[in-house]
Structure 1
């Protein structure tokens, strides 16, 4: 039994005519006659009572028609579901540290979705170290990270920008008018630090360790809003990316000496097949970064 044989049989059952069924299906009459004969032979059954210009289902033919119709409906429904499954685009899973997201999102995401409206994106907040680890584990497709960690070579990467860390305080803070600060100058200051899986934290802790000092951390936060409010209320200072400060005129930013440069970029797993959606996002990021003059 073949699906096409059932389709021919059901058409004849509906139109009571091989001629009309052939016209509706755009096939020859012999093809339909042959299909019906093969079904009758295979199942040892008489499906139609034939007259010169009319074909009527036998009692067995009526039962056969009901079963064949149900089977064809199931096949058609399943085929539609499989086609829909093929049309679905899996979201691109991108890990983003909250602080970095303020530099690139939502503008970057809006621009991407404007160019590729049919490609969904799922953003998940993680610190750079954790996000990079999840890329390695195939839980994330991409991650926007601070690239200054020792395992960066295990990943494919594209640098988007090079930023500088500045020390931020309220305008009432006693260091607010300094032209620059050193790590030694802030060793006793109340500090708001970022999450523990932050590359920025690792960099700063190494600098404090190099002068034999443990920083006076009063808060570890993940959200810029919280950090900003602590600083504005003169509860402490924080090391932030200079790019963030363009939208925060209510904070005083002081260059750090020696300068702390941080490279920000996109990472993805080495040796992994990259689907077309992820490939488009990587290409878009390169173009977006260049257009915004993040990359010179």
Structure 2
């Protein structure tokens, strides 16, 4: 039994597919199939029930998965502890959604590196839900997320700020002079929405569903620059955090009634060993959040 075989097996268990597991791990499908066959042969066990494009764990496979997952977590935790013992500083892996990072993350990172210049940070762009899932899977150490999703209680968290979503349009838009808008008023408006795995999108989809309306989505985008250009050219309206508008010209932010409040914060996995670098970043985030509130 090899560690890599357990990693491949656990990936297939999570995604129920050799194809998806191979894509996530950036390896070939035959490599994963071979690893699973070797495990089944070594332990004289059938791990999966195979059907078209779907892999389901057998009863024995479920027990094997629990034990394998525990073993891999122990190995990762022990590796982190060894790094600490050897004083080797590994980069802190942080997931950052494109829109949220625009609000304040550059300033936050600069402040952290000024206080801890010897701790490297690796930033990776993911929307909030995906970033939170990667924290659960130990692929990321931390993630900056919109905290308004139902699985937030599965993670440790530190709130940084609270913001509101506003409806943004160009000055030429028919709604530009409105003091406020409701979701009902936007049912026929062309919309530029954020990408599909964002918490913001899930919140808005729920609001449209509550009035039994399917929104007119012109485009879904992940880059603020693209969203801004579409709105500035009066191709449609977009839902953005109000904090973004201070650095954006040519857009008008209209309050939404009732108000859509969103909490932004940092999350990390529960029950996981936290190395000294990550612990310092979490502590720093708490202090940084206090300065935002005071200002």
Secondary structure of the residue that 2:156 maps to in structure 1? strand
CA distance, structure 1, for counterparts of residue 201 and residue 170 of structure 2: 21
Size of the aligned set, in residue pairs, is 213
Match of 1:180 in 2: 180
C-alpha distance in 2, partners of 1:158/1:117?
23
Matches within 5 A, 1:224-239: 224-239=224-239
Quote the residue 2:135 is aligned against: 135
Structure 2 unpaired stretches of 5+: 1-81
Output the TM-score relative to the length of structure 1.
0.70
Displacement of 1:197 in angstroms is 0.7
Deviation at 1:249, TM superposition (A): 3.2
1:221 aligns with 2:221: yes
For the 8 Å contact 2:161–2:292, the answer to whether it is kept is: no
Give 1:86 deviation, angstroms.
Answer: 3.1
SS in 2 for 1:225: helix
The separation in 2 between residues aligned to 1:217 and 1:88, in whole angstroms, is 48
Which stretches in structure 1 are left out of the alignment for 5+ residues?
Answer: 1-81
Per the normalisation by structure 2, the TM-score is 0.70
| Structure 1 residue ranges (4+ consecutive) displaced by more than 6 angstroms after TM superposition | none
2:253 counterpart SS class: strand
Indicate whether 1:156 and 2:156 are aligned: yes
Residue 145 of structure 1 aligns to a residue in which SS? strand
- Aligned partner of residue 234 in structure 1, secondary structure: coil
Give yes or no for the alignment of 1:210 onto 2:231.
no
8 Å Cα contact 2:159/2:266 also seen in 1: yes
RMSD: 1.6
- Following superposition, the deviation at residue 87 of structure 1 comes to 4.2
Q: What displacement does 1:134 show?
A: 0.3
What is the Cα deviation at residue 105 of structure 1?
2.1
What is the rounded CA distance, in whole Å, between the counterparts of 1:130 and 1:148 in structure 2? Answer: 14
Give the conservation status (yes or no) of the 8 Å contact 2:95–2:143.
yes
